Amino acid sequence: MEKVAIIGVGYTKYAQNSPLTFAEMVFEATTKALEDAGITRDEVDNVVSVSSDFWDGRTISSMAISDASGAYGKDITTVEGDGTFGALYGMMRILSGSFGVSIVCAHHKGTESNMNGITNCAFDPLVERKLGLDAVSSAALQARRYMSKYGLLEEQFALVSVKNHGNAKKNPIALLPMDITVEDVMNSRKVADPLKVLDCSPVTDGACTLILAAERQAKKLTTNKKRVWMKGVGHCSDAFRLGDRDLADMRALKKAAKRAYEMAGISDPLKEIDFAEVYDAFSYMEPLWLEGLGICDDGKGCEYLERGWFNADGKFPVNVSGGRLSANPVQSAGLYAMAEAVLQLRGEAGERQLDGVETALVHGINGMCGQSHCVWVLGR
């Protein structure tokens, strides 16, 4: 199978109440990504946009950014979900043989609307929506289930928030770089038990763009240093209704990870992968997903977190960028995570650069409580 590379990345600085329209944000991110790749839009022949009509407040919102994303005169198509799924679609369009260099752009202006109201609309209007559930309250149900299944403590989840907000201090675009303690998290305002404010990611604005190219074009258009290969990808979804799943069972993620690792030729992810950007919109999610990703055994994520495995200087650094806890532009977050992995692999991550990293794991979710997962292995 032909290889596909990420040859350019661009993004806006994370913001709240950004004065830019979402189209202006897409334009900025895409312009930067094209500059990063060292190409012009003439060399691109299609665009995959990632957005949410509900969050944008208009339907068919990819049409609203077609000019801003450089798609004028080209093909544009849309993924509604996390950016990691948009990158998957972009790669598939290239591998279909129908398209060459592809732009994948994602935008999210969370501060223009009401997060709870919009995520409530993700639930079935015939059943759970009437109860008023949203992303936060459903995550709280999952966090409690995870705690009771494995005997975990809120203080252990708090440590994720401490670590990731601390990591954000070295990320110049982060929204919430903070020196905080477990006590600070525990004493922060209760939102939906067991989640406190500092267990939850901030509402954020941000756009991110990746430029993808098949091997032949990637080698023609860019230097070796710019190219990061999409070595493996896997995706898998679970039941829609929360009650139809065991919220602490990682069966969908395990399948997605297995497919990604097989494609990348990885048999022992902990040994063969150097670091990860894992979906952490809520603190408890990081250890839970790390278990599903096979980085540690079921129920052991918090124990290894406490031992420092996932610290920036640990055995397996996780969310060195600061993660979603430090900035979470929902649809774009997965592309930002992939862009972070690209910078790390190129050795361009500045103050937070990890030593000698060659292979990265990036994970995104779609749907409530990780109904669907997308797992990427990226490498030099």
Partner 1 sequence: MSDWKDDVEILVHEGKISVPYSWTVGSTLSRFYCELRDNGKIWANRCPSCGTTFVPPKIKCINCYEEPHDWVELPGTGTVETYTVVRYEEPSMHPRKAPFVYGVIKMDGADTGIVHFIGDVDPEQVKVGMRVEAVLEDEREGNILDIRHFRPLA
Only one of the segments 65-73, 117-125, 169-177, 304-312 lies at the binding site for partner 1 (rule: CB under 8 A); that segment is 117-125
Q: Does 126 bind partner 1 (CB under 8 A)?
A: yes
Nearest to 252 by CA among 378, 118, 368: 368
> Could you give the CA distance from residue 123 to residue 95 in angstroms, rounded to a whole number?
34
Q: Does 52 bind partner 1 (CB under 8 A)?
A: no
Cβ 182 to partner 1 shortest distance, Å: 20
Cβ 253 to partner 1 shortest distance, Å: 17
Residue keyed to tokens 């240093």: 225
Only one of the segments 71-79, 151-159, 178-186, 234-242 lies at the binding site for partner 1 (rule: CB under 8 A); that segment is 234-242
Choosing from 1, 96, 97, 125, the residue that interacts with partner 1 (CB under 8 A) is 125
Cβ 241 to partner 1 shortest distance, Å: 8
Q: Considering beta carbons, is residue 97 or 151 the nearer one to partner 1? A: 151
Choosing from 16, 31, 77, 137, the residue that interacts with partner 1 (CB under 8 A) is 137
Q: Considering beta carbons, is residue 115 or 233 the nearer one to partner 1? A: 115
Rg (CA), the chain: 19
Of residues 183 through 212, those in contact with partner 1 by CB under 8 A are 189-195
Only one of the segments 176-184, 237-245, 271-279, 318-326 lies at the binding site for partner 1 (rule: CB under 8 A); that segment is 237-245
Choosing from 28, 82, 128, 205, the residue that interacts with partner 1 (CB under 8 A) is 128
Cβ 302 to partner 1 shortest distance, Å: 17
Of residues 309 through 338, those in contact with partner 1 by CB under 8 A are none
> Could you give the CA distance from residue 121 to residue 133 in angstroms, rounded to a whole number?
9
The residues that bridge with 213 in the sheet, in sequence order, are: 5
Q: Considering beta carbons, is residue 145 or 235 the nearer one to partner 1? A: 145
Q: Does 60 bind partner 1 (CB under 8 A)?
A: no
Cβ 57 to partner 1 shortest distance, Å: 6
Of residues 143 through 182, those in contact with partner 1 by CB under 8 A are 143-145, 148
Choosing from 2, 244, 313, 355, the residue that interacts with partner 1 (CB under 8 A) is 244
Cβ 148 to partner 1 shortest distance, Å: 4
Cβ 179 to partner 1 shortest distance, Å: 26
User: Judged by CB under 8 A, how many residues of this single chain contact partner 1?
Assistant: 36
* Cα-based distances in Å from 356 to 7, 57, 145, 268, 379: 20, 44, 38, 18, 12
Contacts with partner 1 by CB under 8 A lie at 19, 57, 116-117, 120, 125-128, 130-134, 136-137, 140-145, 148, 189-195, 239, 241-244, 247
